[in-house]
Amino acid sequence: MVSIIRYLLVLNQSLQMQIAELLKFISKNIHLPKEEELPNYPYRKLVVDKPPVVVEVKLLNYKDLLNEHFAITGKQLRPVASRKKTSVPSNAVCTRCGAPHQYLYDNNGGRGQLLCKVCRNTFDRDEKQFKVTRLYCPYCGNKLELKHSRVSFNVHDCQNDKCEFRRKAYAKLTATEKEDCALHPEKYRLRYTFREFKTDFFKMDIYSLPKNAHTLQFRKFSPHVMGLCLTYLVNCNLSTRVTARVLREVHGISISHAHVANMARTAAVIVKPFVDSYDYDPSFSLVADETYIKTQGKRHYVWFVLDAIKKSILGYKISDRRDLEPCIFSLRMAFDKFRPFVKDKIQLVADGFPVYNLAHLLFVMNQMPFKLVQVIGLTNSDPVSTENRFIKQIIERFNRTYKASYRITLGFKSDEGSDAHLALFVAFYNFLRPHSAFHGYKPLNAIPEVQKATNMPAKWQTLIWLAQRQLLSNQLSL
């Protein structure tokens, strides 16, 4: 055993000597560029264009079209008489009118495109379904072509070289940029582009309940113990293990940290519908931002939408990606608090993250327009940022409050745990937490039944009782 260790040490030393000799050779004979010599290409900022022209194309029946052709011309429309061997498969069918392969042309020499003689529809040989919605360029009217297919969206652009959008974008380039554009066209955005998202963000369920909930009928512990657990866990920002230790050492209650976590998940499931459906009577000034947490050692993002005047949390969402879907999810939760939604009166203050521009465009396209104000950077370099910086600071301060409640946990071990913690934090922040002197050291939304309780565990019990009562009434109304 000793000889093996001695051999490995000698081998390690010889490898280190070889690495040192190679580094000397590289430093003398190979020129490595310095940091200032490396090319520095700034990121191209995402610009949201105006929406495309959407045209709905109707499906047709080839039998009706054949009858119509006979009624007009007095002749039957003959099938395709191919002079050469055709590449049209025998099972091919027109995606628009359903015409069989006898009426289909090989439109591009066997490369896959077919043309229907009955309805003049061109489609791909492997295409299974006809696209009812067609997208056209709003500048030249040319049909948009599919350029990229991503996980959550497709990228379409206008291939017309004489498009007004392309001509104006090319005219803005300098002579040097035009020469560089000929060599590196990917660095310049000269064509109209549109992102078609594969998910209908306005049909997502924004009020789904967390999973893995347990019953409230705990055999060993009373509701007061559950109130104590939530008080230490949420109000005092303690972890489940420290909460179990405090209950054991201070109150003489022997409970495991897993049981504390089960109580928290159960309370979150019950309280979340009550918190999400409460009538906050929000103002028309909102502010949105995102921060990050760690779940299973990986970075996740928490999206918040706050009422800038009344400070209540109106929308929230945890996601593993910093993209459009959680942004729209949290905004839909916030806008759902306005009953009814008032168009063009709501002002949303956010940072310069381009996903807010995309979300604003999609809300406008779905007849839910609002005013988006973006505060750019950390300095007031433009009048808009100078005027609205104080609103952005509200949610920045709130993020520090939330991170203080999360930091003690050093991250979550599961998505269910992070969802439960966020739901309980929102309930505590909106209904139980005493706020600054501006609010008279009272909760943002004071519920009379909750305020009658004399201590915080009793307030948690009352809030859970109110949430249970609402769930029961919702079930009876179905």
* pLDDT 10s digits, 373-432: 999 887 888 888 889 999 999 999 999 999 888 877 777 888 888 888 999 999 999 999
Q: Contact, 311 vs 394, CB < 8 A?
A: yes
Sheet-wide strand order for 104-106:
104-106, 113-116, 122-124
Whether 432 and 475 map to the same domain: the answer is yes
pLDDT digits (tens, 9 = 90+) for 144-154: 988 888 877 88
For residue 438, pLDDT beyond 70: no
Whether 256 and 227 map to the same domain: the answer is yes
Q: Contact, 104 vs 116, CB < 8 A?
A: yes
Structural domain boundaries enclosing 180? 133-198
User: Distances in Å between the alpha carbon of 166 and those of 71, 113, 135, 170, 346?
Assistant: 46, 28, 18, 6, 34
The residues, ordered by sequence, that sit 6+ positions from 373 with a Cβ below 8 Å of its Cβ are 347, 348, 349, 350, 384, 388
78 domain residue, yes or no: yes
In the predicted model, what is the mean pLDDT of the chain? Answer: 86
- Local structure of residue 118 (DSSP, 8 states): T
> Which CATH number do you get for residue 376?
3.30.420.10
Choose the final residue of a domain: 198, 228, 251: 198
For residue 277, pLDDT beyond 60: yes
Q: Contact, 419 vs 209, CB < 8 A?
A: no
For residue 446, pLDDT beyond 60: yes
For residue 439, pLDDT beyond 70: no
80 domain residue, yes or no: yes
Whether 285 and 383 map to the same domain: the answer is yes
320 domain residue, yes or no: yes
The residues, ordered by sequence, that sit 6+ positions from 394 with a Cβ below 8 Å of its Cβ are 287, 306, 308, 311
Lowest-pLDDT range of 81-90, 157-166, 359-368: 81-90
**Length in residues, the chain:** 478
% of the chain exceeding 90 in pLDDT: 36
Whether 283 and 265 map to the same domain: the answer is no
Whether 307 and 355 map to the same domain: the answer is yes
Structural domain total, the chain:
4
Q: What are the tokens at 180?
A: 């560089």
Whether 382 and 290 map to the same domain: the answer is yes
pTM, two decimal places: 0.73
373 domain residue, yes or no: yes
- pLDDT top residue among 277 and 87: 277
Q: Contact, 400 vs 394, CB < 8 A?
A: no
What pLDDT is stored for residue 391 in this prediction? 92
209 domain residue, yes or no: no
% of the chain exceeding 70 in pLDDT: 92
For residue 372, pLDDT beyond 90: yes
Lowest-pLDDT range of 16-25, 30-39, 228-237, 256-265: 30-39
379 domain residue, yes or no: yes
Q: In what helix (H) or strand (E) does residue 116 lie, and over which residues does it extend?
A: strand 113-116
CB atoms within 10 A of CB 465: 14
For residue 224, pLDDT beyond 80: yes
41 domain residue, yes or no: no
pLDDT digits (tens, 9 = 90+) for 290-318: 998 988 888 999 999 999 999 999 999 99
For residue 215, pLDDT beyond 60: no
Give the HSE-up count for residue 111: Cα atoms under 13 Å, Cβ half-sphere.
Answer: 4
- pLDDT band at 131; cut points 50, 70, 90: confident
Whether 311 and 379 map to the same domain: the answer is yes
Whether 147 and 246 map to the same domain: the answer is no
Sign of the dihedral defined by the CA atoms of residues 134, 135, 138, 139, in that order: negative
Lowest-pLDDT range of 136-140, 270-274, 339-343, 350-354: 339-343
Q: Contact, 272 vs 423, CB < 8 A?
A: yes
Residue given tokens 């996903």 in the structure block: 355
Going by C-alpha positions, the residue among 120, 58, 96, 95 that lies closest to residue 105 is: 120
Whether 258 and 328 map to the same domain: the answer is no
Report the pLDDT averaged over residues 250-273: 90
pLDDT digits (tens, 9 = 90+) for 63-113: 999 999 999 999 889 988 877 777 788 888 998 899 998 899 888 877 888
Whether 273 and 284 map to the same domain: the answer is no
Whether 345 and 382 map to the same domain: the answer is yes
Report the pLDDT averaged over residues 434-459: 85
Q: Where are the beta strands (DSSP E) in 330-472?
A: 347-350, 371-374
For residue 214, pLDDT beyond 60: no
Choose the final residue of a domain: 100, 124, 148: 124
Choose the final residue of a domain: 352, 387, 422: 387
407 domain residue, yes or no: no
What pLDDT is stored for residue 213 in this prediction? 53
- pLDDT band at 283; cut points 50, 70, 90: very high
Whether 266 and 284 map to the same domain: the answer is no
